[in-house]
Each structure stands twice: as C-alpha cells, then as structure tokens.
Amino acid sequence: MKYSGLLAKAVQRFGSPTVEGNAEKILDAALKQFELFGIRRSTVEDITKRSGLARVTLYRTFANKDAIVEAVLLRELERFLSELAAEASSYDGAEDKLVEGFVFTLNTLRGHALLQRLLATEPETVLPFLTTEGDSVIRTASSFLAHQLAVALPDDRRTQLELLEVAEVTVRIIVSFVLTPSQNVALGDDDALRSFARRYLVPPLLGLAG
C-alpha cells in the first residue's frame, strides 16, 4: 500500500468535519493498536477487539485493513495540519510563523508515537513516503507552508516561487532531521530549534520582504 498521495488528500480535506460514531471508535482503536504493535503485525481482529464493536460493524464502516490504515493515517495528517495552521495563525509576522512552525513541526513529528513506531520497527512502511516516493509530500507540504507565509508578507515584495523555495528548504530540513538525528547541530530543546531556524531559515525569508 502506498501513502504518497495522502498528504495532498489531507490538504484537500483540510477543515472538513471529523469522523464520529463507530468510525471514530474504530480509528481510535486502530491508532492505539498500530502504536503498540505496528501496522504489519496488526489484524482486523485485533482492531475489532480493541474497539469493542462487532466485526460486522467494522466491515460495514471499512472494507478491509488497508482502508482502516489509510483512514488512520489521513486523520493523523489532518490533525497535524489543523494544529500547525492554528499554531501559525497565533503569530502575525512571517518570521515568527516560520520559526514557530518549524519548532512545532519538528517537535510533533519527533514525538508522534505512530510515526516513531513505524520508523523503528517497519521503516519500509513509511520511509518511501518521505524518500523515494516523497515528491508529492515535499510538493504538498511546501505549498501548504508557502500559503501560511504568504498571508504575512506584502504581496508586492515576494513571488510565489520565492516563497515556495523557502518553504521547500524548510520542509526538506525537517524531513532530514526526523529521519536522521543531528550529529553536530544542537536541536535538543525549543530554544535550540528557534536559534537554528532564525540562523538558517529566516534570512532567506527576510530577503523576500526587503
């Protein structure tokens, strides 16, 4: 199963109502199951038992395990985008949006139980999503970030391409630090993350507003 298009789908559905009722119970159970045992080792029966629902109810809601996996991942991506947008909207300037968005994103991904579980025990499930099949992820994430920055910069002082360049560099740095922990760059706490962002990410952004 490939997940390269899920981020784009999450952006398209951004702001849509969240799942409720049995679907929510099933996704909550599946998420916990995947966090504890991974996706590969989890079965529909495991998810059914954890949800407390009848097997027939689960199959009326989701056709198979792949459908459950996709729904879980899509919901996690939607949650992340919603929380990131809320974080960015709490700052007026593009510089603060970029810095605090960087801090929030790296902290969220490094602390995400399911992502870290998959990276540790079944990397083949998630690594292509961020590497060999990552074009869609990079493109979609860059566009999302560029849009967040655009609202804070005067229209006559930047182009969409310039914003996309800054956004793409930021996204690629985040992916790199998530997949390969830093050896020489101190990123152990929020202050260190902010210092890094202001040193390496903000100067190109400020150049657009000059």
Using the predicted structure, report yes or no on whether residue 156 has a pLDDT greater than 60: no
Residue-level length of the chain = 210
- Decide: helix, strand or coil at residue 209: coil
Q: Which helix (H) or strand (E) is 57 found in, with range?
A: helix 55-61
In this prediction the pTM is: 0.89
End-to-end CA distance of the chain: 46
Question: What average pLDDT does the structure give for the chain?
Answer: 89
Tally of helices (H runs) and strands (E runs) in the chain? 12, 0
Using pLDDT thresholds of 50, 70 and 90, give the confidence band for residue 100: very high
* Mean pLDDT computed over 51-79: 95
Identify the top-confidence range among 6-15, 16-25, 111-120, 181-190.
Answer: 111-120
In a 3-state reduction of DSSP, which class is residue 180? coil
CB 194 within 8 A of CB 99: yes
Residue 19's alpha-carbon distances to 23, 26, 44, in angstroms, are: 6, 10, 19
Q: Report the CATH number of the 6-208 domain.
A: 1.10.357.10
